[in-house]
Amino acid sequence: MKIIMSYSEPKTLFEKIWSRHEILTRDDGASLLSIDRHLCHEGSFHAFDKLKMENRTVRCPELTVAIADHYVSTSFPEKGNEVEALRVPIEKLEINSKDAGIRLYGVGSKEQGIVHVVGPEQGLTIPGITLVCGDSHTATHGAFGCLAFGIGASEVAHVLATQTLWQTKPKTMRININGSLSDGVVAKDIILHLISVIGANGATGYMIEYAGSAIRDLSMEGRMTICNMSIEAGGRAGMVEPDQKTFDYLRGRKHAPKLKDWDLAIKDWTTLATEPGAKFDKEVSVDAGKIAPSLTWGNSPEETLPVTGYIPSPEDEADVNKRETLQGTLEYMGLAPGQKLTDIAIDRVFIGSCTNSRIEDLRSAARIAQGKKALIPAIIVPGSTLIKEQAEAEGLDKLFKDAGFEWRSTGCSMCVGMNGDITPPGERCASTSNRNFKGRQGPGSRTHLMSPAMAAAAAITGRVTDARDFS
């Protein structure tokens, strides 16, 4: 093994953070990284069980935070979950956290919510750190200029026991999104469009840095949406260099640096930006002005089209294997070649998930729903208890209820289809979540990913609808 030394070549944001945390490398090229922040949820019980079997303890409980979200009922929050089998993981998280001395944001806590919403909200997510969680959408936190990625159960156990993790250094990709977005185009449209361009495997093996004027113009909520779905492009992680928007968002957050520590933190964070001349293994450029409100039509995020588009035909696909795949997708989704997207009937709507459940998302949906009535079942699931309280203080809950939407408590809900909130077989859901593979929202379910405004518009009309029609 050899100790890693610094070098003078211009560095990217990613390289700076990696080099700060790289302890040593093995002969096979894997690096041992120090981990600054570890977020756990109910699914982490396997890792705690492994530690108990090996008679090991949590090395740095102060650097770990446990949050209940995946199995939490959004209909019966006071019970955790009314289904006993689903309540057990929640109870295990409570026991494991107490035994290990880990801070817990559990059922009934004002800090409870979806793990990737709560981390930034509480100031646990800050620039320059390494952050991991046993959930693939940990990439969300990269919006703050940190290195954040999901890990498996054995890796969770390793972090708990050592506060380190072996990782192979990924390649780097910069995605430049320049220009101005058209009216009605939001972050969700950007990332769906991007994945349709580069493919669901287009960033496999890469750490993505998002750059360009359109990214800089986004709010922190929008940047989180972009980074969240980096995984759907195959990326190991997604990052945005920290700037004044980042600092303004974090200022005053519960666990963010305070007073003199804040000044020192800002001084350090401003040094993290990618340096001029730094090299990436791959670069992609996208014209923001060419992005339209978009949605998925198939079973992969790359199967995305503008809302004004039409379902493709297998007959237009030259590759035999792709043609067969396309035919299978159409059959599963119950769609016909040449069908206009806005003619697709929607059965229910889900607005929530770690992708789009923040206050900005709820306000966007509320503007569409205000003064109207939903034609189909639609649920609104805020990303955290604090966001729920903020939305209620602004009167958004009443607005949604008056429009026929169901106002729920916080949790992962219908995104994961494992907590009681599912789309029935054969039904079609307009969803603000991040995955649309077969059965993601329940066995036999059909999912169309879209922005909160587009989902709210679908609830009002009962079909895929261009949210710009309500402007």
Residues for the chain: how many in total?
Answer: 471
What CA–CA distances, in Å, run from 275 to 13, 343, 359, 439? 8, 48, 33, 43
Per-residue pLDDT of 203-253, as tens digits, reads 999 999 999 999 999 999 999 999 999 999 999 999 999 999 999 999 999
DSSP codes, 185-227:
--HHHHHHHHHHHH-TTTTTTEEEEEESHHHHHS-HHHHHHHH
Amino acid 51 reads: L
Torsion of CA 356, 360, 364, 366, to 10 degrees: 100
Torsion of CA 107, 109, 113, 117, to 10 degrees: -150
Contact criterion met (CB below 8 Å) for 441 and 419: no
Is the Cα torsion angle 370, 373, 375, 380 positive or negative in sign?
positive
Short-list 239, 206, 212, CA closest to 223: 239
Question: Which residues does the chain have with pLDDT short of 70?
Answer: 1-7
Q: What is residue 80's predicted lDDT score, i.e. its pLDDT?
A: 77
Count each helix (H run) and each strand (E run) in the chain, helices first: 15, 19
Contact criterion met (CB below 8 Å) for 42 and 90: yes
Short-list 360, 343, 344, 340, CA closest to 452: 360
Helix residue ranges per DSSP H, 211-290: 213-217, 220-228, 244-250, 259-269
Q: What is residue 237's predicted lDDT score, i.e. its pLDDT?
A: 97
Q: What is residue 380's predicted lDDT score, i.e. its pLDDT?
A: 98
Q: Which helix (H) or strand (E) holds 165?
A: strand 164-167
378-380 vs 348-351, strand pairing mode:
parallel
Indicate the pTM of the whole model: 0.96
Q: What is residue 1's predicted lDDT score, i.e. its pLDDT?
A: 44
DSSP codes, 335-380:
--TT-BGGG-B--EEEE-TTTS-SHHHHHHHHHHHTT---SS-EEE
Q: What is residue 2's predicted lDDT score, i.e. its pLDDT?
A: 46
Q: Where do the domains of the chain lie, and which CATH numbers do they carry? A: 13-169+244-269 (3.30.499.10), 171-238+274-290 (3.40.1060.10), 296-470 (3.30.499.10)
Six-digit token string for 115? 């793990």
What CA–CA distances, in Å, run from 157 to 237, 303, 458? 21, 36, 43
What CA–CA distances, in Å, run from 257 to 99, 254, 265, 269, 273? 28, 9, 7, 12, 20
Where b means 16+ CB within 10 Å and e means fewer, 179-200 reads eebeebbbbbbbbbbbbbbbeb
Contact criterion met (CB below 8 Å) for 89 and 82: no
The burial of 32, by beta-carbon neighbours within 10 Å (0-12 exposed, 13-18 middle, 19 or more buried), is given as middle
Short-list 326, 352, 333, 336, CA closest to 415: 352
Six-digit token string for 187? 């972050």
